[in-house]
Structure 1
Amino acid sequence: MSPALGFALRRLRRGWKSGELLILTLALAVAVAALSAVGLFTDRVRSAIDSQTGDTLGADLLFSSRNPLPDTLLQRVAGSGARTSSFVQFPSVVLNGEATALASIKAVAAGYPLRGQLRLSELPFGPARPVEGIPAPGEAWADARLWQELGLQPGASVQAGSSHFRIVAVLESEPDRGNGFSDLAPRLMINHADLAATGLTGPGARAQYTLMAAGEARALEPLRTMTLPAGVRRIAPQDARPEIRNALGRAGQFLDIAVLAATLLAAAAVALCAHQHGAKLRDEVALLKCLGAGRAFLGRALLLNLLLLGAAGGLAGALLGLAAQEVVARLLAELLQIALPPPSLQPLLLAWGLGLLMLLGFAAPPVLQARAVPPLRVFQRNAGGSLLTGAIWLAAGATVVALLWLQTGDPKLAAAVLVGAAIALGLLALLAWLLVLALSPLKRAVGSSWRFGLGNIARRRGATVAQVVALGLALLALLLVSVVRQDLLASWQGKLPPDTPNQFLINIQPAQRDALQQFFAERGYADIQLWPMARARLTGLNGKPVTADSFSDPETQRWINRDFNLSWSTTLNDDNQLLEGDWWGEAGRGKPWISAEDYAIERLGLKLGDRMTLDFAGTPVELTVRNFRKVDWGSFRPNFFLLVPPGVISDVNGQYIGSFHLPAERRALLRELVAQFPNVTVLDIDAAMKQVRGIVDRVVRAVEFIFLFTLLAGLTVLLAAIEGTRAERVRETALLRTLGARSGTIAKGLLSEYALLGLLAGLVAAIVAQGVAWALAARVFEIPYGLRPALWGIGAGAGMLLVAGMGWLSLRGVLRTPPRQVLG
């Protein structure tokens, strides 16, 4: 064993006995525990949520093509170990006696769906029940719209192609049914074994062939990245529908904020403790130098001491984090109603590595800096200078950047968080300085105990500001946990309020508009809004013909080969945001202008002033791009990729669509609607909305519990900030007792100082938390957020009580310290 390692081991044992390294180890253990618990639990929740979102697709992955899928793809997917099923979907006319309807026929194979459930009912709009399996050969399930259009009765026989099917149930919902307007035809579901006999999938048929896959991540990972044959599209749950993609994206943002908050707070706790440890080392290093220890030996020994400390504290923290996330997972298993996969080692190893990085980045510079202390410090305690050198600041800054970059994997996001953290710290320092200045004149107007506390704050103004910033950082985290839970998450959930539209009306003829609005007004829906809609295909851009071959991107090629839904209006819905250009308003009537949604900009590369030629059933119309919009597709209200002013395409044959919220107890209204307006089709999306709400609710619960670890990291910073002044309090107390002060008087004075520090820290933290919450709401989550004055009072009061309480726990030992132990 080398002399440096032997010295490091002996010093580590002495440190434990004296308690000198205890707080640094505690900070490191809590840091690693918080990081590992957050990382492990977040990783498991993300995997579980990703698995659950397969319910919205019927599978974890889809492979879809206009032609039968190649055998090579089928064999590759089958050999992956994933569960598979398939279906073929195509439009065709379905007959029931003299009645006919254009339906979307779906021929499903055994095992469909792989995720989620099919729900059936006996009669349209009746009670629904989940069902296992698929229609038996010769039988079919039809949705309520097909029952409506064909006038079906239980047991009716319908014809599709060359085959006849007996209708045995109403198809109330299917997990992979689209919610947009690209799948408007009513559904007829049959057994895949009956498909060939229909004769409807021959050459030229507009069929979509889909292979479904579901399974564990290791089986799916090769399928997510493999090269696909030409014409085959891979679809994941996040790509299936805009509202699901938005919900998952928002979930990821909340979880990322929880992880980043825990990381930064843990780093702050380690930094405070490391600085205190480095300061304590100066006396010991000076003594060792007097005994002949060299600079190189001290550097090796102290660095080895840190590494041993990091290994022990990191291991304890990793085990604590592993146990903590397992306890939380067990507690949440029933609450979340999702099965969490086993934890992986990667987040655990990453947390341990980040803990060592924190230790080396924050503790190594002040520890190694202590080697420069001269032996003279043994006789003159002020020899040795300050530890806060430029090199230490540089190392700390580089460590923070590295932590953020490793945690996020995104340099831009890391830079944004770093700038935001710097601004928050700057605001904390500025507000603390101003409040300290404002409190100084009050020391003459209060009692002796408060005068003692105010005097300490005024006398050590710079140290007070630093301590308020440290305490404020911890309180800021605690307040932000409350803000995220109470305000931001509530606002996010509020984006899908209980009265969100769950019924869409389509195929409303212009002549029926007034009568339909009167029908709803008589039944308590006077404010129902109906939007005009027409369908068109893009045929030209800036005077040049446009086809799928005009674009190299496969997604754009598929997107361009379909008809666009288009509407006209002089006003914008509140779920539309203008990005560029100006809105035409009433002045735009009759002008050949068009407004494009940002997805169209991305796909077509549009610019303001571009000319788009749209074909309306053989009638070409050229329109100039006037503005760009961003649409909140999660609002579940009618929205359109393209809008034009009224009067531009008034001679085009179109229809009206609308949406409204229908409570479950009033579903009988749909029967009245169908009886009075038999051609109007009702699109019930209530089941799909329940899926989205379920995802949001699961994420909210997960985030709430994940933020508990951020709360623990914040409390650790608070403890480190209070314990950092313990040595100074001991000396100050001993001096006062030597001068005749009573323990009770000293205790009241110190408690008043802690209370004032907590008041200041809580107030500045509340002000900054309000600003951070507004920035997150406005810039990240895009949700409304207003001023919360009560937060300032809550922050100030909580800070005062919390810091005073933790200060009292620290003071109990200080007040019992004999004067001779400090001053002797």
Structure 2
Amino acid sequence: MWIKLAFKLFAREFRRGELSIIFAAIALAVLTVFSLSSVTQRIGLNIEQKTSDFIAADRRLSSNHPIEPHILAKGAEFGLETAKMLFFDSMLFANEELILGSIKAVSPEYPLRGEVTLKDNLNGVPYEVRGGPKKGNVWLSEGLFYSLGLKVGDQVELGAGNFTVSKVLVNEPDAPFFSLAGNRRVLLSYDDIAATQAVQPGSRVFHRLLFAGQEQQLSDYYAWLKPQLKANQSWQGIKDRQSPLGNNLARAERFLLLAGLFGIMLAAVAMAVSAKRYCERQYDPVAMMKTLGGSRQVIRNIYLLHLSLVTGFSILVGLLLGFVLQHIGAAYLAKFMGTDLPVAGVRPWLLSVFIGIVCALMFSLKPLLDLFDIPPLRVLRRSLGDKLALSRIHIGLSLLTIFLLMWMFSEQLLTTLILFGSTLLVIAVLFGISRLVFSAGRKLGLSPGSSWSLAIATLQKRANANAVQLISFALAIKLMLFLVVLKNDMISDWQTQVPADAPNMFLINIGQSEVQPLDDFFEQNSITHEAFFPVFNARVDAVNGEELARRISRQEGEEKADSEREGVNREPNLTWLTELPEGNEITQGKWFDNNSQSDRIEVSVFDGWQERLDLELGDEISFLVNEQRFDAVVTSFRSVDWGTLKPNFVMILSPNMAGKVPVTYFSAAKLDNSHTKAISSLLQRYPTISMIDIKSRLEQAQSIIAQVSLAIGFVLAIVLISGALVLVSQVQASLAERMQEVVILRTLGARGRLIKLATLYEFLLLGAIAGLVAALVSDVTLLVIQQQLFDVDGKMHPYVWVLGPAVGAGFVALIGYFMVSNTMRQNTQGLLRKLG
């Protein structure tokens, strides 16, 4: 019997729009979470794929000695794509010319991520391919063609083998950003290694295995591999790379995560407000049903069924709209990115349904329980039951639910605590401000009949309701301001990392006798260039006599053993200088005193390596150059702006290092297309000099930044829409009370203009106060977020303190006035019918 009654009431309430608030709130929560999580997951996967191109795989295993065959075979068992690589140096001979080349032998599967750029001849048009050279063929970088006087189709001797030069090698996805191999790169088939006879027992070679697959597959494989890794083997991913790109990728992921958390918070606020308001509007019907003999059990069953129906229907609608929205957004972003975005997994679906159900239960169940306690006498005394409107249990459960949902979504306790704590701060500050402002309004002495007087009086009358509205408005404004400012800071920071005058070419392997001719060449062709730096490679072998441990994998979240001193698994490029280079700043210690008579060698270390190598001022670092060993004392630490792309060094030695080790020189220059012919002529005259063209690398990095910018813009749009809907739900919750006020004011003879202006001023005040508090709290929170989560020096944004109140007043006034304008246009008789 009660089921039939419940469905009749449900249909009636649905037609009247009584359930529209709670329905829209749940649908909003599901839509926001689904669209945000889907788009951010798809864009995150795409960005990871793009950045994986920089290592030609998702992960790579590097070793200084042969890797056991079963390690590669096991990767295939885990469902991973695999490829093999071997690096070694060997002599190339052709046309009576002999030169040392840097050989990279690859299996046919190379590269697993990204593409190799080739040309069919020196003047050909570059194009991209997947795979390596066929057996019996080699691909040579452009510098080797000039050095050996070759053309495509010629034969070249590599070690003991003869090979056909079939392509001009322009770029590899995993080409080193800076390497002394430079323009002497050779790509060889892995099957031709034996034919060269260059790899013998004791040869200095470098092995690498590439892996690509799903994250879970890679994690499972690494769990199996980790116990078998040798001290001189390392497992790496793109996030292990010390580069602006790796840092930017991590920042982008954290930003998209924050945006998702904000979406959940806004949806939760809308849900809590809407559920509470819906239940308040059912107080009178419940009191009437009890008066007519309805039992508590029947009433409970009716409204719980209503909640179940509206929850299920709103979740379905939210998923449908969210799917359409994320599909449209992803298609739009893919169009500008020039690539198809990967398909999101099942997590957004499960997460959205779970959050929709939790929101419905946690934010609606307690108001419903209060609803069942409404006394029958409320039909005579309308104030009975109003004390149930505010429940500490409901508030506590709502806050706990929001916190747990944010934690579950982010899986980062620190991030959740910072954002949740700032939200509680907004609530506390606004409650205090609302009491002060609304109580002070009585002492303003505004003249009777003015719109401002009426607005202040209305604010005083609804002090508690206005406090709740202020909190909702401020949260929405705070989150929007937070995302906008953070987005602007991030994009600005990324764009300044690659300045317009940044070099796009490195010249290396420059001999002492070639420095002056090159300097003259740059001057004659009006090419901007950097100084010529002496450079050599050295292995960081020990600190204070303690040998360094193998490198750990940051990609997998490893931590080194407490008993081991962390090391590095590459030989950094070192130099010596008399002056502190541009873009460097001493953070500890002091620069060299230029006392060349001292026998003590000093070293200035990049502060990023201070923690990595656990260094302190006065520590002694042991270096190994081939078989030559020398020690240097740490006298200073430096901050380095790597994003300028100008020559920088992790370690700089004191000037008295000059003459102790053999060196070459290198420089950097800014080239444009008009310099191509001149540079080609230069390389023909000086064939031992190598050129590293990083224009394609810069373009790839800038493309990734552009993708992140588009993603952030899309996420911001969703959050802005969510914030607007929160404001709409708050204003809609007070419509019935506002209709009563309009009826009373019109009955007392108030003019329509007076009522309209008073309503506008009321929303302006609420928005301005909410915007001011939101701006102050969001700026402080942003400072903490930047320092704790983004590892950058945070800064305050005074312009936000003005922008917040202005935007808040305009935004709230526009939406609020629009929502109630229809009410004010109706005549008194029509309003009375609706109230009845």
In structure 2, distance between residues paired with 1:822 and 1:716: 24
Question: Which residue does the alignment assign to 1:705?
Answer: 714
Q: Does 1:812 align with 2:828?
A: no
In structure 2, distance between residues paired with 1:162 and 1:150: 17
In structure 2, distance between residues paired with 1:513 and 1:484: 45
Alignment counterpart, residue 415 of structure 2, candidates 413, 416, 419: 413
Question: Which residue does the alignment assign to 2:405?
Answer: 403
- 1:329 maps to a residue whose letter is A
1:207-229, CA deviations, whole angstroms, 9 ceiling, x for partnerless residues? 33444444566876654554365
In structure 2, distance between residues paired with 1:632 and 1:434: 48
Do 1:40 and 1:343's aligned partners in 2 also have CA atoms closer than 8 Å?
Answer: yes
Q: CA deviation at 1:286?
A: 4.2
Q: CA deviation at 1:534?
A: 3.6
Q: CA deviation at 1:281?
A: 4.0
- The 1:779/1:391 distance shift into structure 2, 3 A limit, reads same
- 2:497 maps to a residue whose letter is K
Structural mapping, 1:426-437, within 5 Å: 426=428
In structure 2, distance between residues paired with 1:104 and 1:553: 35
- 1:106 maps to a residue whose letter is K
Q: Which runs of 5+ in 2 are unaligned?
A: 553-558
Q: Secondary structure at the match of 1:499?
A: coil
Structural mapping, 1:247-262, within 5 Å: 247-262=248-263
Q: CA deviation at 1:585?
A: 3.1
- 1:62 maps to a residue whose letter is R
Do 1:592 and 1:622's aligned partners in 2 also have CA atoms closer than 8 Å?
Answer: yes
- The 1:575/1:622 distance shift into structure 2, 3 A limit, reads same
Q: Does 1:789 align with 2:799?
A: yes
Deviates more, 1:172-181 or 1:424-433: 424-433
Question: Which residue does the alignment assign to 1:717?
Answer: 726
Do 1:142 and 1:187's aligned partners in 2 also have CA atoms closer than 8 Å?
Answer: yes
- The 1:637/1:125 distance shift into structure 2, 3 A limit, reads farther
Deviates more, 1:238-247 or 1:708-717: 238-247
Q: CA deviation at 1:75?
A: 3.2
Question: Which residue does the alignment assign to 2:311?
Answer: 310
In structure 2, distance between residues paired with 1:434 and 1:727: 27
Deviates more, 1:621-630 or 1:637-646: 621-630
1:544-580, CA deviations, whole angstroms, 9 ceiling, x for partnerless residues? 45676999879x99965653333345766676677xx
Q: CA deviation at 1:36?
A: 0.6
Question: Which residue does the alignment assign to 2:280?
Answer: 279
Q: Does 1:119 align with 2:125?
A: no
Q: CA deviation at 1:441?
A: 7.4
Q: Does 1:663 align with 2:672?
A: yes
- The 1:261/1:588 distance shift into structure 2, 3 A limit, reads farther
Q: Secondary structure at the match of 1:582?
A: strand
Question: Which residue does the alignment assign to 1:345?
Answer: 346
Deviates more, 1:120-129 or 1:694-703: 120-129
- The 1:532/1:377 distance shift into structure 2, 3 A limit, reads farther
- The 1:197/1:650 distance shift into structure 2, 3 A limit, reads closer
Q: Secondary structure at the match of 2:225?
A: coil
1:640-664, CA deviations, whole angstroms, 9 ceiling, x for partnerless residues? 3333444466644434433233223
- The 1:670/1:125 distance shift into structure 2, 3 A limit, reads farther
Do 1:57 and 1:240's aligned partners in 2 also have CA atoms closer than 8 Å?
Answer: no
Question: Which residue does the alignment assign to 2:556?
Answer: none
Structural mapping, 1:164-243, within 5 Å: 164-181=162-179, 184=182, 186-214=184-212, 222-223=220-221, 225-227=223-225, 229-231=228-230, 233-239=234-240, 242-243=243-244
In structure 2, distance between residues paired with 1:198 and 1:785: 58
In structure 2, distance between residues paired with 1:415 and 1:290: 47
- The 1:659/1:423 distance shift into structure 2, 3 A limit, reads farther
- The 1:752/1:336 distance shift into structure 2, 3 A limit, reads same
Alignment counterpart, residue 750 of structure 2, candidates 741, 744, 754: 741
| Equivalenced residues, count | 819
1:236-293, CA deviations, whole angstroms, 9 ceiling, x for partnerless residues? 3444563442232122122112211211111111122123234334444444555566
User: TM-score, structure 2 length as denominator?
Assistant: 0.86
Do 1:179 and 1:241's aligned partners in 2 also have CA atoms closer than 8 Å?
Answer: no
Do 1:733 and 1:815's aligned partners in 2 also have CA atoms closer than 8 Å?
Answer: no
- 2:312 maps to a residue whose letter is A
Q: CA deviation at 1:162?
A: 0.6
- 2:694 maps to a residue whose letter is I
Q: How large is the RMSD of aligned CA atoms in angstroms?
A: 4.0
In structure 1, distance between residues paired with 2:431 and 2:507: 57
Structural mapping, 1:72-221, within 5 Å: 72-79=70-77, 82-121=80-119, 127-131=125-129, 134-181=132-179, 184=182, 186-214=184-212
Do 2:498 and 2:644's aligned partners in 1 also have CA atoms closer than 8 Å?
Answer: yes
Question: Which residue does the alignment assign to 1:674?
Answer: 683
Do 1:140 and 1:190's aligned partners in 2 also have CA atoms closer than 8 Å?
Answer: yes
Q: CA deviation at 1:529?
A: 3.5
Do 2:143 and 2:683's aligned partners in 1 also have CA atoms closer than 8 Å?
Answer: no
Do 1:52 and 1:338's aligned partners in 2 also have CA atoms closer than 8 Å?
Answer: no
User: TM-score, structure 1 length as denominator?
Assistant: 0.87
Do 2:455 and 2:761's aligned partners in 1 also have CA atoms closer than 8 Å?
Answer: yes
Deviates more, 1:666-675 or 1:680-689: 666-675
In structure 2, distance between residues paired with 1:588 and 1:763: 55
In structure 2, distance between residues paired with 1:271 and 1:237: 42
Do 1:778 and 1:785's aligned partners in 2 also have CA atoms closer than 8 Å?
Answer: no
Structural mapping, 1:506-545, within 5 Å: 506-509=508-511, 513=515, 516-517=518-519, 519-525=521-527, 528-544=530-546
Do 1:265 and 1:474's aligned partners in 2 also have CA atoms closer than 8 Å?
Answer: yes
Q: Does 1:326 align with 2:327?
A: yes
Question: Which residue does the alignment assign to 2:470?
Answer: 468
Q: CA deviation at 1:8?
A: 5.7
Question: Which residue does the alignment assign to 2:269?
Answer: 268
- 2:266 maps to a residue whose letter is L
Do 2:36 and 2:718's aligned partners in 1 also have CA atoms closer than 8 Å?
Answer: yes
In structure 2, distance between residues paired with 1:773 and 1:446: 44
Deviates more, 1:52-61 or 1:122-131: 122-131
- 1:266 maps to a residue whose letter is A
Q: CA deviation at 1:38?
A: 1.1
- 1:57 maps to a residue whose letter is I
- The 1:626/1:315 distance shift into structure 2, 3 A limit, reads farther
Q: Secondary structure at the match of 2:530?
A: coil
Do 1:488 and 1:777's aligned partners in 2 also have CA atoms closer than 8 Å?
Answer: no
Alignment counterpart, residue 44 of structure 2, candidates 23, 43, 46: 46
Q: Secondary structure at the match of 1:489?
A: helix
- The 1:649/1:547 distance shift into structure 2, 3 A limit, reads farther
Do 1:443 and 1:455's aligned partners in 2 also have CA atoms closer than 8 Å?
Answer: no
In structure 1, distance between residues paired with 2:775 and 2:125: 50
Alignment counterpart, residue 449 of structure 1, candidates 445, 448, 451: 451
Q: Which runs of 5+ in 1 are unaligned?
A: none
- The 1:431/1:143 distance shift into structure 2, 3 A limit, reads farther
In structure 2, distance between residues paired with 1:460 and 1:284: 24
Do 2:551 and 2:569's aligned partners in 1 also have CA atoms closer than 8 Å?
Answer: no
- The 1:57/1:654 distance shift into structure 2, 3 A limit, reads same
Q: Does 1:565 align with 2:565?
A: no
- The 1:189/1:40 distance shift into structure 2, 3 A limit, reads same
Do 1:570 and 1:646's aligned partners in 2 also have CA atoms closer than 8 Å?
Answer: yes
Q: Does 1:504 align with 2:509?
A: no
Q: Secondary structure at the match of 1:62?
A: strand
Do 2:591 and 2:636's aligned partners in 1 also have CA atoms closer than 8 Å?
Answer: no
Question: Which residue does the alignment assign to 2:362?
Answer: 361
Identity %: 29
Q: CA deviation at 1:717?
A: 0.8
Question: Which residue does the alignment assign to 1:31?
Answer: 29
Do 1:549 and 1:557's aligned partners in 2 also have CA atoms closer than 8 Å?
Answer: no
In structure 2, distance between residues paired with 1:464 and 1:522: 73
Q: CA deviation at 1:410?
A: 1.6
Q: Secondary structure at the match of 1:188?
A: strand
Do 2:142 and 2:183's aligned partners in 1 also have CA atoms closer than 8 Å?
Answer: no
Q: CA deviation at 1:409?
A: 0.9
In structure 1, distance between residues paired with 2:690 and 2:565: 30
1:172-227, CA deviations, whole angstroms, 9 ceiling, x for partnerless residues? 10112121347557211223333221112232233334444445668766545543
Q: CA deviation at 1:167?
A: 2.9
In structure 1, distance between residues paired with 2:591 and 2:571: 26
In structure 2, distance between residues paired with 1:111 and 1:13: 62
